[in-house]
Structure 1
Amino acid sequence: MTVSVKLSAVAEEYFFEEGCYITELSNSDDDAAVSIARARLAPGEATRWHMLRDTGERYVLLQGCGLVEVGDMPPQEVVPGDVVLIPPLTRQRIASVGQTDLIFLAICSPPFTPDVYIDIEGEKDSG
């Protein structure tokens, strides 16, 4: 890791195939151990069932109310301040169930790259 200040990139938000809007906050060689993205879901929206190959993920809830489904755990409501730990190759999805956008940080180690994303929406055991 090298000393760095990464300025906000909220204007660079894009829609990712997972079903949410993403803003890459940090995903570069100067901090090669992790990536940090801001994810946003509108009320009533949910991500697709998916998992990440060789990549652990943490959700840090910042705004809104969510319903998260991870692995074999029953669905659980999450609110700002909650942290969800998701090991590699663990099925997951999250829905925005409140009246405002659900906003959370997705912190991945090693850093997220699109090739680690595995869409499992519609598979027999995905939900």
Structure 2
Amino acid sequence: MLFGKKKEIKSLDINEGYQRFLKDERILLLCADEDYIFEKRHPKGAQCLPLRIIDQQAKDQLESQDILYLYANKKGTSYEAVKRLTKQGFEAYDLGSLVAFTGPEEGLAVKGKRSKHKDHNH
């Protein structure tokens, strides 16, 4: 940190972020919650990188050219994840809470989810 200057945390609306994610293959949509929360419900195509392991695993699991869009059930969790990733040199955006998400979802708690036997290729 140079002379106490903080890096600004960039944020986007979760639905706007999802639309960008669909159009740009460099964007990774990441959930900062624990795996068991992620598995219940998440935007289609999202991946999980829990906040508690970001400091240890981000450099190993992510590419420096990736653009990271983070969300969580609680806005504070995604904000903290973005703060940590930005400090590590990643381009990261805070999408805030999953509660506001209106796009397609998948996971164990999502109604109308197809069984694995009938999963069609899209």
Task: Provide the TM-score with structure 1 as the length reference.
Answer: 0.29
Which is strand-richer, 1 or 2?
A: 1
Task: Provide the TM-score with structure 2 as the length reference.
Answer: 0.30
